[in-house]
A and B are shown apart, each in its own frame.
Chain A
Amino acid sequence: MTTYAAPIREMLFVMKELSGLDAISTLPGYEEATPDLVQAILDEAGKFATEVLAPINASGDRQGNRWADGEVATADGFKEAYASFCETGWNGIPAATEFGGQGLPITVSTAVLEMWNSANMAFSLCQLLTLGAVEAIAHHGSDALKNTYLPNMVSGQWTGTMNLTEPQAGSDLAAVRSRAEPRGDGSYAISGTKIFITWGEHDMAENIVHLVLARLPDAPPGVKGISLFVVPKFLVNDDGSLGARNDLVCASIEHKMGIHASATAVMAFGEKDGAIGYLVGEANRGLEYMFTMMNHARLNVGLEGVAISERAYQQALAYARERVQGRIIGDKSGDKKPILHHPDVRRMLMDMKARTEATRALAYYVAGCMDRAKAHPDEAVRKQNQSRLELLTPVVKGWCTEVAQGVTWNGIQVHGGMGFIEETGACQHMRDARITTIYEGTTAIQANDLIGRKIAREGGHAMQALIGELKATQESLAGHADGGLQKIGQSLARAITALEQATAWLLAHYDSHPQQAAAGAVPYLKLTGNVAGGWLLGRLALVAHQRMGGGDAEFHGARLVVARYFAEHVLPETAALRDAVVDGAESVLALPEGLF
């Protein structure tokens, strides 16, 4: 087991150069987020992540949660860590100040959230779900709901959950069956079974506020008949104190592959006379409300991919520096040295590092778009950023989490046999990472969103605008005096061509050959992610090259090497992915069902 140290310098570099932090801190409402304050916040958050959350990551994984009679006891140390987390005010970092949050830019909370996820992904899911619920109530709830629930949820005294999935309604939420009957006093009696409810039951907070999708008796069938309800574990009295236990119970918790310390609950609502719930916004618009915050949740899951990759990299690097094994090929001294000196171990670590930095670059870049889309005074700029944000959201979610699979996989490989042993700690990262490509919409769902809603439905304009920017960076690189940057530019040119060709094929075939298009959706998403990652690392390399003469040549030099590795080892994958998109659908669809 190794500890975690937040890569604050890398984070700040990306926040400044790609998110546009300096400009964001001049936007209305974000004036407080000056660079020195952001540095102080990252320093303190990094300390908290290292000292409080990281030490209970492995123990939480081993111990998991214990369910008995509807109650869930969290792993040792989680209750205390959560209390400290709330006391220090971290829970409400991006939430509005009117409800006790700090109203900081998404760019800042994104970096902080990455730290929580790296240190302890299972723990940080609780905050993620609570903040998602806060967002839903803040955007769509009545003032009464906001005032009753938000202050305690922002402080973390109460936590939140999302109750969407049912046994028959997974990715297809149109199949939701839970029912809501009016009780005549404005509230509703909720009944039904929900599964896969993250942090659905636990002992860290005094109340749990469930957001539940259910159908009213007169609701139309399908997605247009689903409403959203607030259903608290303990009812809240008019004076804000906690009242009676609501009619809902955690029927069991799942035995999972990873994120063991986060309880995944089966929730039974209304087994007696109906759980009391309160309608959020208007009837039958629940799914639409969930989707408004789903985008943010998807970015946050993409960020989990970045975070777990970073943790796996740090773990593998520490081992590679320490483990002495074998003689190094071509090393005349004949001394035994740490395995970091073996070329293939270096290749694996470079691969982990470069892919992790590329995913971070994309996630933070999109966080910056989110801040501008929300707070920029110029409507045209807001629109432009909103469009970029929508285009890239499925890529952040799908690509960053898919990349994390390979990075955590290599994390084990670097360890050799020790990596396969649970006590080493490398396995946990791979097991924890595994859920990220599944929940909050699988990679295929992200990919279908990308090729359908985000590209084909709007004629590919958002993608064309992005490609225009890719080309501008590519030209700066290819025309640069530095040979290394030129090489990155040449590789990026081929990758951009691959993206253009795949996009043109999609636009030409999406309507006429929907199955063929869908068969190539995931390769297309990965292609987009790789090109975007190469583009952003290239932009960072251009900045780093300019600063090479300054005081920090080592740091900036490393950025050049990382971008070059990505250009030489990852960008070539784009040609293969293009081929799979434009010429690979037939074999996907050819085999008769019976021959599988």
Chain B
Amino acid sequence: MKVLVPVKRVVDYNVKVRVKADHSGVELANVKMAINPFDEIAVEEAVRLKEAARATEVVAVSCGVAACQETIRSAMAIGADRGILVSSDAELQPLAVAKILKALVERESPALVILGKQAIDDDSNQTGQMLAALLGWPQATFASKVAVLDERLRVTREIDGGLETLELPLPAVVTTDLRLNEPRYATLPNIMKAKKKPLETVAAASLGLDLAPRLTTLKVIEPVARKAGVMVADVVQLVDKLRNEAKVI
């Protein structure tokens, strides 16, 4: 079974994000970038499937600028066998990424596509679902446990108020939640080996797809700063404020 793992290059989760002065987006110049943590979990899961002899090959894919190669190398340092960069300098929204991935799925014929439920930059939470819809494949989102049973998958997913277990036929799309696994630290020998693993570049434009953005960003602003609190004299006043000012009780 071949597994395709899409990985996105995002601002490192440790970075304090700043809005650009012209409010067109967030500052990315010289900001530390890293693999999207949810996608890292997807890579880890795919590599574990391979180590358990459930998967035969793990292919990491990233869509975007040339620097996304670093993200693919990170995936390969965890254990992905090879990588594909779909290069594009243009903005790629979830639908465009889903279309690109569909084209790659048709070329690579994986039995499973596993990716993060969302990316920590725009939190869209759309790509996996759109890809499943475009492919007409079953999908299991927010996976917290994945088991491969012959031709089927059993996926436990986190839903409001508990866990839901689904069984779906392969091929399928799975999106990962935080509790699926804890990604390993890449070992130094594997970081060095990752450099020698094959990494192919495909120009997005060569795929003949309509990748134009469907959404326009009007303005990006910082969240409103928290206002200072006030001291209340007693419980009566507190209850009064909660009821009449905050209107929460």
Residue positions of A touching B, CB distance < 8 A: 5, 8-9, 32, 34, 36-37, 39-41, 43-44, 47-48, 50-52, 84, 87-90, 92-93, 102, 551-552, 554-555
Contacts and interface: CB of A to CB of B under 8 A. Distances in A.
A87 B30 contact: no
B74 interface: yes
Contacts of A92: 188
Contact of B187 (A37, A47, A50, A88): A88
A89 B195 contact: no
Nearest to A33: B192
Contacts of A84: 185
24 contacts: A8-B32, A32-B192, A32-B195, A36-B195, A37-B191, A37-B192, A40-B73, A40-B195, A41-B192, A43-B34, A43-B74, A44-B77, A44-B185, A44-B188, A47-B185, A50-B14, A84-B185, A87-B187, A89-B188, A89-B189, A89-B190, A92-B188, A102-B189, A552-B30
Is the interface on chain B under 10, 10 to 19, 20 to 34, or 35 or more residues?
Answer: 10 to 19
A8 B34 CA distance: 13
Given A90-B188, A102-B189, A40 B14 contact: no
Given A34-B195, A39-B70, A40-B194, 15 more contacts: A5-B14, A9-B30, A40-B70, A40-B73, A40-B195, A41-B188, A43-B34, A87-B187, A88-B185, A88-B186, A89-B187, A102-B188, A102-B192, A552-B30, A554-B30
A44 B78 CA distance: 11
A292 B34 CA distance: 41
Interface string B222-243: 0000000000000000000000
A51 B12 CA distance: 14
A88 B14 CA distance: 22
A52 B182 CA distance: 13
Contacts of B189: 89, 102
Contacts, number: 57
Interface of B: 14, 29-30, 32, 34, 70, 73-74, 77, 185-192, 194-195
Contact of A37 (B14, B186, B195): B195
Nearest to A90: B188
Contact of A44 (B14, B30, B191, B195): B191
A50 B34 CA distance: 15
A551 B192 CA distance: 29
A51 to B, nearest CB: 8
B191 A40 contact: yes
Nearest to A101: B188
Contacts of B195: 32, 34, 36-37, 40
Interface of chain A, helix or strand or loop or mixed? helix
Contacts of A34: 195
Contacts of A41: 188, 191-192
Given A50-B14, A88-B185, A40 B30 contact: no
Contacts of B187: 87-89
B20 to A, nearest CB: 14
Question: What 5 A-B pairs are tightest by C-beta distance, nearest first?
Answer: A89-B188, A89-B187, A88-B187, A88-B185, A89-B189
Contacts of A44: 77, 185-186, 188, 191
Contact of B185 (A37, A52, A555): A52
Contacts of B14: 5, 50
Nearest to A89: B188
Nearest to B29: A551
A51 B40 CA distance: 16
A89 B190 CA distance: 9
Contacts of B185: 44, 47-48, 51-52, 84, 88
A43 B191 CA distance: 10
Q: Among the interface residues A32, A40, A551, which one has the most CB atoms of the partner chain B within 10 A?
A: A40
Contacts of A90: 188
Q: Among the interface residues B30, B32, B191, which one has the most CB atoms of the partner chain A within 10 A?
A: B191
Contact of B30 (A5, A32, A43, A551): A551
B30 A555 contact: yes
A39 B190 CA distance: 14
A477 B195 CA distance: 40
A544 B185 CA distance: 34
A50 B14 CA distance: 10
Contacts of A89: 187-190
B29 A40 contact: no
Nearest to A112: B188
Nearest to B190: A89
B188 A40 contact: no
A52 B14 CA distance: 15
Nearest to A34: B195
Nearest to A3: B14
A20 to B, nearest CB: 21
A552 B191 contact: no
Q: Among the interface residues B32, B70, B188, B192, which one has the most CB atoms of the partner chain A within 10 A?
A: B188
Nearest to A51: B185
A371 to B, nearest CB: 18
A40 B189 CA distance: 12
Contacts of B190: 89
A43 B71 CA distance: 11
B198 to A, nearest CB: 16
Contacts of B188: 41, 44, 88-90, 92-93, 102
A366 B115 CA distance: 45
A100 to B, nearest CB: 9
A535 B93 CA distance: 49
A404 to B, nearest CB: 25
A138 to B, nearest CB: 19
A32 B188 CA distance: 13
Contacts of A40: 70, 73-74, 77, 191, 194-195
A555 to B, nearest CB: 6
Contacts of B194: 40
A224 to B, nearest CB: 41
Contacts of B29: 551-552
A39 B77 CA distance: 13
B10 to A, nearest CB: 14
Contacts of A87: 187
A37 B30 CA distance: 19
Nearest to B34: A43
Contacts of B74: 40, 43
Contacts of B30: 9, 551-552, 554-555
A93 B34 CA distance: 23
A103 to B, nearest CB: 10
Contacts of A555: 30
Nearest to A48: B185
A52 B189 CA distance: 19
A43 B32 CA distance: 10
A551 B28 CA distance: 12
A478 to B, nearest CB: 31
A433 to B, nearest CB: 25
Nearest to A87: B187
